[in-house]
Structure 1
């Protein structure tokens, strides 16, 4: 199975930090944010990784290279002007599904988590498996409802927040191209067919979307034993 790290956003909420540095390369705990994902994926056995990029994307390629020093193989899906999430995945789909692979892992480049990727296994009766987390203070209403059977729906009591980590099947993108827009509507259409499952992660997770949350993560990581 291959994985894609979504790293094409302009990081407008992170300005002025992202005026000269793409958000995935911003440091936390002495390392670029994206380095944590590369390590997590490698430890989970996912060593064939695609990274899409747009804003200052050449810096990402220069710093990460082909991935050898991280113990992985990195290929890139450049976008020029940033595409929305579903469009970016659709453009990268040939890299993710070559050789007949149907499932691939997607992870947002602007999160940090201790989620164990090995917990994910492609479901037999679904087109997507999403990792959900408790609602953070900045997103109190959540995104999706996880029922007792592990299925997701757009509405329901006590909705949870989509973590930005998912397993997706290639058929979700049938008849879609890089103008597909955001991933949310694609997932909601699949939910209407009862084809999306969910998994609740109760451990550490942070959406590193603002300078304040980046600073908070940096401070927390530097307090952890073994952090450089």
Structure 2
């Protein structure tokens, strides 16, 4: 699943007429980078959730785009604006899309640039064998998030750490559907009521039970949250 429903308020006025994930980075839409990386890893069935200017995204990619000139993707859309009038936040959007997803499944944000990240079947196999409900990739804290999000134990567990060393959540993760059911998530399956809910509280509850693993990713990574960060990525080297 590639998350693409956000309004991109901090990117205005760029996002007044273009959905943030379609803003170009180095010659192609920002969200196309994780889509191509997933396809390169053999994950060719994608779900895109959309809301703000979502018809621009579905109109651009269609149902079976050939990205990178080689691998054809099969795309399903979870149109939160059509169904509920707006975005459902991360957890609400994931639960809404669960009927379209396998188990386990990847989630990556369409507004994060991580050109070196590799999605592998081996990572999925390790995740399944580990018996956790989620596996997160954390990154060193950027200047705009100096306090980080989650801790990381020596044993590879993500920690709901109020104090001490923390890393930033990259937005890239592997998940089991069971994370989005009681006792961690109270949203009914498929989210028929369009409940808006963030992901972090669900992850923190599972972390408290030792059910979220993690690792540190140190490759290039940018949360493209401002026009300045977008311009920096597109500045000629």
Q: Which residue of 2 aligns with 1:166?
A: 173
Q: Which residue of 1 aligns with 2:22?
A: 25
Q: Which residue of 1 aligns with 2:144?
A: 138
Q: Which residue of 1 aligns with 2:63?
A: 66
1:120 paired to 2:90: no
Q: Which residue of 2 aligns with 1:218?
A: 234
Which blocks of at least 5 consecutive residues in structure 2 are unaligned? none
For 1:117, what is the secondary structure of its paired residue?
coil
Aligned partners of 1:150 and 1:205: how far apart in 2?
Answer: 21
Aligned partners of 2:64 and 2:27: how far apart in 1?
Answer: 19
1:85 paired to 2:90: yes
Aligned partners of 1:180 and 1:195: how far apart in 2?
Answer: 24
Report the aligned-residue RMSD.
1.3
Judge conservation of contact 1:111–1:208 (CA < 8 Å) in 2.
yes
Aligned partners of 2:159 and 2:18: how far apart in 1?
Answer: 37
With normalisation by structure 1, the TM-score equals 0.90
Matches within 5 A, 1:34-113: 34-70=31-67, 71-80=72-81, 81-97=86-102, 102-113=103-114
Q: Which residue of 2 aligns with 1:226?
A: none
With normalisation by structure 2, the TM-score equals 0.87
For 2:77, what is the secondary structure of its paired residue?
strand
Aligned partners of 2:100 and 2:178: how far apart in 1?
Answer: 15
Aligned partners of 1:18 and 1:120: how far apart in 2?
Answer: 34
Matches within 5 A, 1:176-191: 176-177=187-188, 178=191, 179=195, 181-191=197-207
Aligned partners of 1:186 and 1:120: how far apart in 2?
Answer: 22
Aligned partners of 1:104 and 1:6: how far apart in 2?
Answer: 13
Per-residue CA deviations over 1:157-215 (Å, capped at 9, x if unaligned) read 22000000000100011142431500000100100111000010011100001000011
Which blocks of at least 5 consecutive residues in structure 1 are unaligned? 224-228
- Give the counterpart of 1:198 among 214, 223, 227: 214
Of 35-44 and 52-61, more deviation after overlay is shown by: 35-44
Aligned partners of 1:25 and 1:68: how far apart in 2?
Answer: 15
1:208 paired to 2:219: no
